[in-house]
Amino acid sequence: MSVPATIPPEPRPIARDLVKEIAMDIGKAVAEHIERMYPKAVEAASSTFLLSVRNCTHNEIMAALETTDENAIRARLARRQKDRRELRRMYRAIRADWKAGP
């Protein structure tokens, strides 16, 4: 005897305000994690460091949810990965030059 397959119900859209609250909660959790796990880094950083981490996390989540098209999401992820690699390469070159001095 086979068990009939069930189709999950179509997901209902979540109110944007609720998504913003979720994104902010995640941002706060990330900032709190950094503060708890790396207190010396927080002490050495700017007074706005944790606020910046919180807001950046929130903004990244909100931007990621702008589309639900799978191809657009995959393209965005690939573009962001490429951009991160390029930025990392540039920052390393800048820091190497800075350390080398005049």
Of the pLDDT bands very low, low, confident and very high (cuts 50, 70, 90), residue 1 is low
Alpha-carbon distances, residue 21 vs 17, 48, 54 (angstroms): 6, 21, 12
The owner of tokens 């657009």 is 72
- Alpha-carbon 73 to chain mean position: 14
- In this predicted structure, the answer to whether residue 92 has a pLDDT above a threshold of 90 is yes
- Alpha-carbon 56 to chain mean position: 7
> Over the stretch 21-73, which tens digit does the pLDDT of each residue have?
999 999 999 999 999 999 999 999 999 999 999 999 999 999 999 988 999 99
